[in-house]
Amino acid sequence: MNLAETGVALDSRSKHLRSLVIDGLSAGRGHVGSSLSLIEIIRVLYDDVLNVRPEEPDWADRDRFILSKGHGCLGLYAVLADRGFFSKDELLRFCKHDALLGGHADAHIPGIEASTGALGHGLPIAVGAAIAARLHKRNSRVFVVMGDGEVNEGSVWEAAMHASKHKLENLTAIVDYNKLQSYGRIEDVLPLEPLADKWRAFGFAVREVDGHDVGALQKAFAELPFSPGKPNAVIAHTLKGRGISFAELDATWHHKSTVDAAMIERLRAALEQE
């Protein structure tokens, strides 16, 4: 069952954050579906879970969030701008020459912990950050969002073994399980099921949630750690392109290299109809 097909409506905040993603797309390009599927995950983390300071992004005792699927960065940029890490005006300059915000998450941007985009790197970085927090006796927690196609990478499972060995209960791996990768359906390219059992076999305590249900996400994250001495995995069932009806579940909306004014108008109209 795809838990995201339960029909959870988008509230005004989720629509607002998607409108900020469209602001970024107005610069002319971007990963559309990949950014829209993870909005609620990142929204809940920054609104309700992460201990961070937008005015002091390098605060030593902060929680760490790593977007391993760095191509979905417009979703993260929207939340960071909305929370005050940088000006919303920066979204309108997305991918422009000398702009702050590029097409993948980059560590020079306030609030971005690691440069990502080469898939399979985020969880290894997060494991290192979680071990570092323990060594420095910080209460910091580490969260990492991966794409489901990204989970094909062997480095993900190597890192998972290390997380289990070191009993990193301060680490939470989140899979944005939208069932599509850049060139097709997950089940056609390289099936992942039984995905929850795979994470359990690697020593993780697992929860599955509808990744667009804000309440369900809040409940799941409030229960961390799920089991003493185990790293955590949240499998968030989502829809690629959620919020734009004609882009949902359509792999051709993974990325658009040309987004003109007419397309922006069409995107905004579809979001209004949600």
pLDDT in tens, 199-240: 999 999 999 999 999 999 999 999 999 999 999 999 999 999
Question: Which tokens sit at 160?
Answer: 């998972």
Radius of gyration (Cα) for the chain, nearest Å?
A: 17
Domains in the chain, start-ordered, CATH in brackets? 9-272 (3.40.50.970)
User: Please, which residues bridge with residue 252 across strands?
Assistant: none
pTM reported for the whole predicted model:
0.95
**Rounded Cα gap, residues 127 and 66, in angstroms:** 11
Identify which of 35, 112, 17 has the alpha carbon closest to the alpha carbon of residue 71. 35
pLDDT tens column, 4-62: 555 689 999 999 999 999 999 998 888 899 999 999 999 999 999 999 999 999 999 99
Identify which of 242, 263, 254 has the alpha carbon closest to the alpha carbon of residue 43. 242
